[in-house]
Amino acid sequence: MAKKKNKTAKGKNQNNTSSGSTTSKDVKSQNSHRKGEPEPPKSKGNESCQEQQEVRNDNEVVTITENTVKLECSNEVEKLRKNSSEPSNNTNIAERNQNKEQVLNKKGTIDKIYNWRTVQDTDVSRENTRVSNEDSADDAWGGFKDKKNQWDTKEKSTSSKIENWREKNENDECGKEFDVWEKQSRKEVNFNIVKEIEGDLFQQPADNSLAHCVAADLRMGSGIAVGFKQQFKNLDTLLDQRVKQGGVAILPDEKNKRYIYYLVTKRESTGKPTYNSLWKSLWKMREHIVSNQVKKLALPRIGCGLDRLEWDIVKNMLEYLFKDGSTEITVCNFQEMEATADSQSAPKKQMKTCRLMRENYHLTAIAEGTAIMYLTTEKGDPDEIMKDLDAKFNFLSKARVQYSSKRLGECIIVEDKQYVFFGCIVRKTNKEPISFESLKKCIQAFNKKNRSYGNDCFYYVGFQEIKDTESYQDIQINEKVITLLTNTLRDVDVYFCTGIKDRKY
């Protein structure tokens, strides 16, 4: 670069004979134009070169043009000063006026360039501010959503911890009280609280709350439980409480302002309770009675019919738990008399239930002429059962178009030549527990639809056993679904398939 600059300076010395030799200071002065600001144009050829530079970035072009115009203006002003010192004549005056007009025009150009740049800078600044504000708002909203999710997760975790602590605390108190009762039960007890009578439990005054024992699947297929199921119904409401063994399901009777207690003393209807599980259920019922100031309670000899517990021990439990005397306990010992020809009592209405058939094959192997029922979500998220059925019958493409307008408790119906596929929307997502209230509505809708077929109605309903009980958060989901199917369906047989299909998809 240094050699190139010296060459240029040497050429200038040869061309400029009138000014004499050029000093090193003059060379530095000329080079300073290249370092600091652009060299002023010397001819029209230089101006054309400047116009070609406008291909570059807008900011660079504007800067070069502005500096150039400023330099030209300063040169013109210097010329005017020199001319003003010379003797004036008409020609000089005209030239000065012309030069002055050119200077003013160039000054106007500078003002326009400055104003344009100011507007551009303002627009750019405003746009940057807007984008920055939008980014800040997005970041703030994203941060808020993340924070809210953390709060929700923390709240759920806290609620779960509180619930677990409460359950553990209750179990500890219940267990301690059971130990105290067990020691005292060996002594002789005076029964002053429990009053036994001969009579029908359901004929007791309407202000008496009622209680009896059930299993967690709420099958209630025998004994006095059948009467409770017939009279108070609402199986779906009870199932949605998801009470485990050792708990109590509660059904409010708004009409009579009382409560119906379902003591869950065993897991399955085919099982048997223990004194410990019965105690837990009675203890939790006692807590509810005290909290809601229940004054009267009528019940049968709980746990001592088909469940085979000893009445003296169970009665001792009741005597201990309600020893404060704030609740009147009545036990009904009802022995149904055999019907005679003179009896004026009308025969009891029989409960219509469906016949349950358990089969060890997969639902895809069910015979033609069967209504296939399955559980689904509002979005139609396919589970393994739906995938297996679709691999065999290819029905999901027709089903998906219906999901957009369906909600909990509604059905997805796809009719085929030999089958009908009945999807029951019982969950919002695959991670939620089943809504038994929604399932009951779907089953009732099936009954109505099946009747509309007339002579072509279906007499068989197929249902596949749910293997993934964890997604339903209920290990007894299958038995509970069977309870609702057999007690709500009408005039059909239920084929409950438990087999496994070899998946090739």
229, 266, 284, 440: which one is catalytic?
A: 266
- DSSP conformation class of 257: T
Looking at residue 71, its pLDDT comes to 62
Looking at residue 37, its pLDDT comes to 46
Q: Which CATH architecture has domain 194-332?
A: 3-Layer(aba) Sandwich (3.40)
The per-residue pLDDT for range 289-311, each reduced to its tens digit, is 999 999 999 999 999 988 889 99
Looking at residue 159, its pLDDT comes to 56
The span from the CA of 244 to the CA of 171, in Å, is 13
The per-residue pLDDT for range 91-128, each reduced to its tens digit, is 566 666 666 666 666 556 666 555 655 656 666 666 66
User: Which tokens belong to 49?
Assistant: 């070169």
Instruction: From 224, 236, 212, select the one nearest 487 (Cα to Cα).
Output: 236
Weakest-pLDDT range from 71-80, 474-483, 496-505: 71-80
Query: Residue 43 above 50 pLDDT?
Result: no
Looking at residue 20, its pLDDT comes to 43
* For range 442-467, the mean pLDDT: 95
Looking at residue 41, its pLDDT comes to 46
The span from the CA of 435 to the CA of 472, in Å, is 10
Instruction: From 368, 389, 392, 414, select the one nearest 464 (Cα to Cα).
Output: 389
Weakest-pLDDT range from 5-9, 231-235, 459-463: 5-9
Looking at residue 186, its pLDDT comes to 77
* For range 395-414, the mean pLDDT: 94
pLDDT band at 344 (very low <50, low <70, confident <90, very high): very low
Topology agreement, domain 194-332 and domain 355-497? yes
Mean pLDDT estimate for the chain: 78
What are the extents of the domains in the chain? 50-158, 194-332, 355-497
Looking at residue 17, its pLDDT comes to 41
Query: Residue 326 above 70 pLDDT?
Result: yes
Q: Best-predicted range by mean pLDDT among 83-87, 129-133, 229-233?
A: 229-233
The per-residue pLDDT for range 192-222, each reduced to its tens digit, is 899 999 999 999 999 999 999 999 999 999 9
Higher model confidence: residue 340 or residue 352?
352
Residue percentage of the chain with pLDDT more than 90: 53
pLDDT band at 67 (very low <50, low <70, confident <90, very high): low
The per-residue pLDDT for range 124-177, each reduced to its tens digit, is 666 666 656 656 655 666 666 566 566 655 555 555 555 555 566 667 889 898
Looking at residue 187, its pLDDT comes to 77
Please, what CATH class does the domain formed by 355-497 belong to?
Answer: alpha beta
Looking at residue 249, its pLDDT comes to 97
DSSP labels, 2-71: HHHHHHHHHHHHHH--TT-PPPHHHHHHHHHHHHSSPPPP-SHHHHHHHHHGGGS-HHHHHHHHHHHHHH
Higher model confidence: residue 458 or residue 149?
458
pLDDT band at 15 (very low <50, low <70, confident <90, very high): very low
Looking at residue 417, its pLDDT comes to 84
Query: Residue 473 above 80 pLDDT?
Result: yes
The span from the CA of 403 to the CA of 478, in Å, is 25
Phi, psi of 471 (to 5 degrees): -65, -25
The per-residue pLDDT for range 255-270, each reduced to its tens digit, is 999 999 999 999 999 9
pLDDT band at 13 (very low <50, low <70, confident <90, very high): very low
Is-catalytic flag, 502?
A: no
Higher model confidence: residue 147 or residue 69?
147
pTM of the model as a whole: 0.66
217, 236, 240, 307: which one is catalytic?
A: 307
Residue percentage of the chain with pLDDT more than 70: 62
Looking at residue 146, its pLDDT comes to 62
Largest CA distance in the chain: 155
**Chain centroid to CA 5:** 75
Q: What's the 3-state SS for 304-346?
A: CCCCCCCHHHHHHHHHHHCCCCCCEEEEECCCCCCCCCCCCCC
